[in-house]
Amino acid sequence: MTYIVSTLLLVTIILPLTLSVLINIGAVQNLAVDAAARFASRKLGTTVSVEHVDLGLFNRLQIEGFYVEDYQGDTLLYARQVETGITSFKPLTLGVAKVDGALLRLAQTPDDEMNIKQVVEHLKGNGKGNFSLAINRAEISDFRFELFRNDTSHRERGGIDWSAMQISNAEIEAHDFLIAGDSIAVRLDRMAFDERSGIRIDDVSTDWLSVVSGRMRFADLHLQSGATEINMPMLTIIG
């Protein structure tokens, strides 16, 4: 009995340490990254690539050069550097996620369908519609967001071009981020950014932001730009 217990203890201690050492060897990490990227590419039906990954002790994860392509061959999502810790695998839960240098590019196809919707629909077709991801806290710096729509009737002289909106220098702090299937929910603590029209938003916060089936709902929305301040108990945008 003593031998069995000691053996189990050795396995319990040595196996995770050995795996951690192997994971921290560059060659092994690169093989794992390549395999994971190929797997993700098959599931999404498009190109997914990662330049480098560093997996450390206590489920610490660093990713560099994360790239997802849309079905038109353009960038859908890119992150220069991601640092986080995995607190749970089922459901997949991250602790504090820090992202530096990211781009999210949404564009309508010639068929008036959003490029990100195509990817989501493909996931549903592969039986992955119930995928879930939770992030306890997110800190994002140097974030860019681009939105291109085919309808150009919403262009305003001297204001934001809603058919070709481009946000840059965004700083975001949020918590309780959750993706469940095609639904997204998050508590936005702070967001500041510049829009290419020259408009500067100093602060956006909301107690609850949800995105479900193309409908965005903000609860207790606060927006500030210079001396202008707007507070709304509820705002719903249907897109």
pLDDT per position as a tens digit, 152-190: 665 656 677 878 889 999 999 999 998 876 678 999 999
The H or E element spanning position 195 is: strand 183-195
pLDDT, residue 10, reads: 45
Across the range 60-68, mean pLDDT stands at 89
Q: Which of 41-50, 141-150, 158-167 has the lowest mean pLDDT?
A: 158-167
Inter-residue long-range contacts of 111-114, CB under 8 Å, 24+ positions, other chains counted: 112/150
Its pTM stands at: 0.78
Work out the pLDDT band at 204, boundaries 50, 70, 90.
very high
Q: Mean pLDDT across the chain, nearest whole number? A: 80
pLDDT, residue 118, reads: 82
pLDDT, residue 152, reads: 67
Residue 5: pLDDT above 70? Answer: no
Cα-Cα end-to-end distance for the chain: 65
pLDDT tens by residue, 118-127: 887 777 666 5
Structural tokens at position 186: 């998050």
pLDDT, residue 3, reads: 40
3-class secondary-structure state, position 122: helix
3-class secondary-structure state, position 72: coil
Q: CA-CA distance, 107 to 24, in Å (whole number)?
A: 38
Q: CA-CA distance, 167 to 159, in Å (whole number)?
A: 13
Q: Hey, where are the domains in the chain? A: 2-238
